Amino acid sequence: MTEYKNTKYQIRLPIVLCLGLAAGVFIGASLTSRKGSGEVGKDVQKFRDVLTHIQNEYVDTVNSGVLLDDAINHMLNTLDPHSAYIPAADRLAANEDLRGNFDGIGVEFNIFRDTIVVVSALSGGPSEALGIQSGDKIIKVDDKILAGIGVTSADVMKALKGPKGTEVNVTILRRKEKIDYKIIRNKIPQYSVDVGYMVDSEIGYIKVNRFAATTFDEFHESLKSLKEKGMKKLVLDLQGNPGGYMNMAIDMADDFLSTGKKIVFTNGKEKKYNSDAMSTARGEFEQGDLIVLMNEGSASASEILAGSLQDNDRALIVGRRSFGKGLVQSPFDLSDGSELRLTISRYYTPTGRSIQKPYEDGDEYSRDIISRYNHGEFFHADSIHFNDTLKYTTPNGRTVYGGGGIMPDYFVPLDTTLNSHYLNELYTSTSIQEYTFGYAEANKEQLVKKGFDHYLKHFSVTDQMLANLVKVGERNKIKPDQIELRNKKRLFQVHVKAQIARKLWGNEGFFPVINDTNEIFLQALKLFDRIPAELDHTKM
């Protein structure tokens, strides 16, 4: 098992990470055989005999490698939902999101009417250095034409991504001019903190989309920057965050907790998989009011962070019940380069809660989110019933529950008025992206000159703009729904305004606009005055 000396915590912790809802939390390890494994040896021999008979005697020719992979997957599926087998060919892609960077040419792109359009050249990447611009159309990569052939995002990624230092030839159409670029691929940063901005003179907002290798550094910089701008209160948004490296969640929790507070602990069959994480010296934001946003898509490392802050009476959790992922996996290297991710322990919040939801019925586990919706949990907090045997008490006397996710301190029902099938179709057909990209390009000079603050306060999406959006949708074979457009006009206006802002100012422009449709965020802003009473029941 790989370990490291963590000088910050002054304890020996396994290296842990979580790869989202499918994979979960990990502890670094290597595959070793335990002594006294005679019974395992007999079982392995039986399996080898069966495989040999199939290969030699079966009536048809079979691929023994495929049979073996299927057998491994079936075997793991009988254990729990998060133990998994990753073939060697898929291993790099499976871990890429957590590395904090990838190798490529450094462009954000979209596909409009079967044409790859550069939305932006990423800062510090090779494409920006060569002068590739927003609006450029990628029509050819090496010797392959990529325009007008039904190209998909996966096709583009496969063509443009590759190891650092390798060369790719790209042909760009800029207006009517074709330009050939020879691009040397390089490391391109991926950011797990989407944005940090001031909501008003005192309240800051940070959105974390996953817990990757660089998350704590990104978060810490955002936190310090907001404090310099006068932040006294913070909204930490973990909605839809599927997890990531566990030590990133621990580091973030330590920024909010005073010395000596338990953050999380793990217990397994083997003592080597047991660990405790405690907060240390003064963090960056131990005193200010804190609200954490969660929903049914918040899982694993997100639940570790939220659970530690809830159990220590440090934060108010606002939103809906989280996913319920409390199993710890360890990655084991296999001889052919594939990887086994095996559940080896459970993690617990400081009060001793296991928030792993039941998984004995695998089919029910996979349908859990749909079942919650159908049961009414997304709309009514009282539809959730917890077993009293899973009741726990925080130091300040607040009641919290284990047995399936983190239940928020303040429940916010799902607002169905913020959903629109027509808006979804405009997104999936990239019609809204195409229209807002074109509008931003055509009006960039005057909008940027006035600045984002002016745009946020004064820019309005007109009826004519919505009519033009409808026309773009029709070109992309999306049938207009004028009734829905009329009844949910403000929703469409917010999304168009947010997408234009994203094209001009990135996430710093997008989130302050789109959060007007974030019902959990809007409710959280009203709760800061209630934090002292909510978090300290000893003074009620």
For residue 184, give the CATH number of its domain: 2.30.42.10
Residue 345 has pLDDT above 50, yes or no: yes
Q: Are residues 58 and 137 in the same domain?
A: no
| One-letter identity of residue 378 | F
User: Nearest Cα to 167, choosing from 183, 179, 181, 155?
Assistant: 183
Does a structural domain hold residue 27?
yes
Does a structural domain hold residue 383?
no
Q: Are residues 82 and 121 in the same domain?
A: no
When pLDDT is averaged across residues 350-370 and rounded to a whole number, the result is: 82
Q: Are residues 455 and 496 in the same domain?
A: yes
Residue linked to tokens 């000088």? 7
Q: Are residues 91 and 105 in the same domain?
A: no
Q: Can 325 be counted among the known catalytic residues?
A: yes
Q: What is the pLDDT of residue 260?
A: 94
Q: Which of 32-36, 75-79, 223-227, 424-428 has the highest mean pLDDT?
A: 223-227
CA-to-CA distance for 225 and 222, rounded, in angstroms?
Answer: 5
3-state SS class at 326: coil
Q: Which of 25-34, 88-97, 258-267 has the highest mean pLDDT?
A: 258-267
- Pairing mode of beta strands 177-184, 203-208: unpaired
Q: Are residues 62 and 82 in the same domain?
A: yes
pLDDT category of residue 20 using cuts at 50, 70 and 90: very low
Does a structural domain hold residue 258?
no
Does a structural domain hold residue 10?
yes
> Which of 207, 233, 261, 325 is flagged as catalytic?
325
Q: What is the pLDDT of residue 512?
A: 98
Q: What is the pLDDT of residue 96?
A: 65
DSSP per position, 389-410:
GGEEE-TTS-EEE-SSSPPPSE
Q: Are residues 90 and 121 in the same domain?
A: no
* Mean of all residue pLDDT scores within the chain: 86
- Pairing mode of beta strands 316-319, 410-411: parallel
pLDDT category of residue 537 using cuts at 50, 70 and 90: low
Residue 32 has pLDDT above 90, yes or no: no
Q: Are residues 76 and 23 in the same domain?
A: yes
Q: Are residues 83 and 134 in the same domain?
A: no
- For residue 67, the enclosing domain spans 3-34+41-95
Q: Are residues 52 and 117 in the same domain?
A: no
Does a structural domain hold residue 488?
yes
User: Nearest Cα to 250, choosing from 281, 223, 277?
Assistant: 277
State pTM to two decimals. Answer: 0.84
DSSP tag of 100: S
Lowest mean per-residue pLDDT among 13-17, 322-326, 365-369, 397-401 = 13-17
Residue 56 has pLDDT above 60, yes or no: yes
Does a structural domain hold residue 117?
yes
Residue 16 has pLDDT above 90, yes or no: no
When pLDDT is averaged across residues 101-118 and rounded to a whole number, the result is: 84
Q: Can 311 be counted among the known catalytic residues?
A: yes
Q: Are residues 105 and 86 in the same domain?
A: no
The 10 Å CB-count burial string (b at 16+, else e) for 346-373 is bbbbbbebbbbbebeeeeebeebeeebe
Q: Can 233 be counted among the known catalytic residues?
A: no
Residue 534 has pLDDT above 80, yes or no: yes
pLDDT category of residue 110 using cuts at 50, 70 and 90: confident
Q: Cβ(64)–Cβ(366) under 8 Å?
A: no
The phi, psi pair for 143, rounded to 5°, reads -100, 10
pLDDT-above-70 percentage for the chain: 89
> Which of 300, 302, 345, 420 is flagged as catalytic?
300
Domain closes at, from 150, 170, 189? 189
When pLDDT is averaged across residues 195-202 and rounded to a whole number, the result is: 97
Lowest mean per-residue pLDDT among 73-87, 304-318, 466-480 = 73-87
Residue 8 has pLDDT above 90, yes or no: no
Residue 54 has pLDDT above 70, yes or no: yes
Domain closes at, from 127, 159, 189? 189
DSSP-H helix ranges across 58-170: 64-77, 88-99, 126-130, 153-160
Domain closes at, from 130, 160, 189? 189
With the C-alpha atoms ordered 276, 240, 103, 342, is the resulting torsion angle positive or negative? Answer: positive
Does a structural domain hold residue 490?
yes
Helix (H) or strand (E) holding 431: helix 431-450
Does a structural domain hold residue 530?
no
CA-to-CA distance for 284 and 224, rounded, in angstroms?
Answer: 7
- Pairing mode of beta strands 25-27, 327-333: parallel
3-state SS class at 1: coil
Q: How many domains does the chain contain in total? A: 3
When pLDDT is averaged across residues 357-368 and rounded to a whole number, the result is: 77
